[in-house]
Amino acid sequence: MKNELKITDIKGSFELCNEVQMPYLGLGTYLSDNDQEVVDAVKSALQLGYRHIDTAAAYKNEEGVGKGIRESGVDRSEIFLVTKVWNDDQGYEETLKAFDASLNRLGVDYLDLYLVHWPVEGKYKDTWRALEHLYAQKKIRAIGVSNFLKHHLEDVMSDCTVVPMVNQMEFHPHLVQQELIDFCTDNGIQYESWSPFMQGKVFELDICTDLAKKHNKSEAQIILRYNLQKGIVAIPKSVHTKRIASNADIFDFELSAADIAFLDGLETGERVGPDPDNFNF
């Protein structure tokens, strides 16, 4: 499996196609309030050893994320910071403005990764050109997309200068999409998961309970280890210090090939989030 031998500790990373190191475990901040809640979550994660923080303009908490980074005591250069351009800001000039606005809210002068949040029809290719421009200017260390299916990726790749380096997708045992993972791997695109716990539904699956007992780990730890062993970057969201710490306690055990096959076999195609081919926002 991709990168399997590189799973070492909380600060470990997968290498992107441009040789930038992307930490394979990060803190997600979706629905974290832009107040002390997200500030404390970011500080806790960084002080626990996390080095990857994921946010988005649409989460409306970039200011809090930036404050948490500044108050953490961890040098900015050690942190892999990600945000995303929202759908209302897509298009070439609009994206350039949105990028500057995100930097201003975060209080930083560069990003480690900038993502196109959703494939807005008629706009995402112009948005991608803007990301290529920002990347060429060295304002972003890596550029990628989120919620792009194979045909969206092929459309971008048909005439792009830089192939997307990351694709952040809904991923969990009911939505594995192995063909899409394989397509990304074959094209040097790092796969990343959002909603790895199916908005909590994963904890109701018997197989996860069985695996948790087998490995003496929590269901959440099983699922996060599953992500990493498939070569997928994981960014579980939490605002609770104990849970943030627990989510990182996944480096003292290993799932077997049979365990992973069991989890892959739970694929149903069920989404807990919007369909990238049918969203209206």
- Give backbone dihedrals phi and psi of 161, rounded to 5 degrees, phi first: -90, -35
CB distance 184 to 191 below 8 Å: yes
pLDDT digits (tens, 9 = 90+) for 153-195: 999 999 999 999 999 999 999 999 999 999 999 999 999 999 9
Residue 75 CB coordination number (10 Å): 8
CA distance 272 to 281: 16
pLDDT digits (tens, 9 = 90+) for 20-70: 999 999 999 998 888 999 999 999 999 999 999 999 999 999 999 999 999
- Active site amino acids: 59
Q: What's the CATH number where 63 sits?
A: 3.20.20.100
Query: 258 lies in a domain?
Result: no
Asked if residue 225 belongs to a domain, the reply is no
When divided into structural domains, the chain yields a total of 1
The answer to whether position 1 is within a domain reads no
- Please tell me the chain's helix, strand, coil percentages from 3-state DSSP, rounded to the nearest 5: 45, 15, 40
Report yes or no on 277 lying in a domain. Answer: no
Tens-place pLDDT, residues 197-232: 999 999 988 878 899 999 999 999 999 999 999 999
Residue 104 lies inside a defined structural domain of this protein? yes
272 within some domain: no
Between the CA of residue 205 and those of 181, 227, 250, 273, 274, what are the distances in Å? 23, 16, 20, 18, 22
Task: For residue 73, tell me if it sits in a domain.
Answer: yes
Residue 131 near residue 116 (C-beta atoms within 8 A): yes
Measured in degrees and rounded to the nearest 5, phi and psi for residue 91 equal: 115, 160
Cα diameter, the chain:
53
Q: State the residue range of the domain holding 53.
A: 11-199+231-250
pTM over 0.85: yes
Identify whether 265 is part of a domain. no
Alpha-carbon gap, residue 58 to 31, rounded angstroms: 10
Show the tokens assigned to 248: 């990182």
So what's the pLDDT on residue 3? Answer: 42
Contacts of 58 (CB under 8 A, 6+ apart): 84, 86, 87, 117
